[in-house]
A = this chain, B = another copy of it.
Amino acid sequence: MGKLYVIGMGPGALEHMTLKATRAIEESEVIVGYHKYIEFIKPLIGGKKVVSTGMKAEEERCKEALRLSKDNIVSIVSTGDSGIYGMAGLILELRKNEEVEIIPGVTAASAAGSVLGAPLMHDNCNISLSDLMTPYELIKKRVDSAAAADFVISLYNPKSVGRPHYLRECIDIIKKYRNGNTPVGVVKNALRDGQEATLFTLDTFDDEFVDMFCIVIIGNSKSYIKEGKFITPRGYSLKEEL
């Protein structure tokens, strides 16, 4: 009897993976994943069988993982949390009677937030700007609603070659509702090799630096920058002047 672990490995560095995820990978006979992400966990893989595929092959990857899990202990891995834009949904949609366990991880917004300071301390939302499976009109509607209701907004998949203008357009939507001095943080490769972070405001924002390996976080109306850290106050009335 086999089993399939659906693993969120967190941002990428092994130290930000949970012990449960680490143990499940060690226990597995087969590791399935996008080849770039498999690289991150190479030290844990040793001589295990690896089934790695390219991007946009998610359905095939999930079917293969489910097929292999009938007779093997298998881990299918993705970065961040397996349940937020990860593989958990597709696995459960395709599952027939295979045994599946979902193991959550640190999602990319949390990783990027920790690098920037504490931007996510109040009500917040995650929006993917990828229009591969979501109409751009719906994406823009969500950005507009989130800005109007003063959510902190984390943008996943903020920019790709095929849609270079979406991020700029979404920032313009947010500017309808927020001050120009609202902080905007960009983190590339948060908490893994190649990490870079830049702080802007809505007025100074420049999307040149942004690519698919970035998370972009836009503050709410109370967010501010203090000594290089992006802070959204939880709302405590502090007992002395800061």
A residues lining the B interface (CB < 8 Å): 8, 10, 14-20, 22-23, 58-59, 81-86, 88-95, 102-107, 110-111, 113-114, 117-128, 132-134, 138-139, 141-142, 144-146, 148-151, 191, 226-227, 229, 231-236, 238-239, 242
Say what secondary structure dominates the interface of chain A: mixed
Q: Which of B102, B122, B226 contacts A93 (CB 8 A)?
A: B226
Bound CA span A88–B89, Å: 31
A83 surroundings in chain B (CB, below 8 A)? 110, 113-114, 118-121
Q: Given contacts A106-B104, A118-B92, A123-B127, are A19 and B15 in contact (CB under 8 A)?
A: yes
Q: Which residue of B lies closest to A97 (CB)?
A: B227
Q: How far is the CA of A106 from the CA of B189 in the complex (A)?
A: 18
User: Residue of B at shortest CB range from A224?
Assistant: B93
Instruction: Name the contact of A138 in the complex, choosing from B17, B86, B119, B150 (C-beta under 8 A).
Output: B150
Copies in the complex: 2
Q: Which chain B residue lies CB-closest to A134?
A: B235
User: Which single member of B92, B105, B142, B144 contacts A123 (CB below 8 Å)?
Assistant: B142
- CB-nearest residue of chain B relative to A100? B229
Q: A15-B18, A142-B150, A242-B94 are in contact. Are A89 and B104 (CB under 8 A)?
A: no
Q: Provide 10 A-B residue pairs closer than 8 Å at the C-beta atoms, listed in order of the A residue.
A: A14-B19, A15-B20, A83-B110, A88-B121, A92-B118, A94-B238, A95-B227, A123-B139, A125-B146, A138-B150
Closest B-chain residue to A83, C-beta based? B113
**Smallest Cβ distance from A235 to chain B, in angstroms?**
3
- On whether A106 and B81 interact (CB within 8 A), knowing A92-B229, A226-B92, the answer reads yes
Q: Determine the chain B residues whose CB is within 8 A of the CB of A128 once the complex forms.
A: 122-123
**A149 to chain B: closest CB distance in Å?**
4
CA distance A239 to B60 in the complex (A): 10
A59 to B191, CA, bound (A): 28
Give the CA-CA distance A119 to B126 in the complex, in Å: 13
Distance (whole angstroms) from the CB of A91 to the closest CB of chain B: 8
- Chain B CB count within 10 A is highest, among A119, A122, A142, A234, for A234
Known contacts A20-B16, A125-B123; A234 and B118 CB within 8 A of each other = no
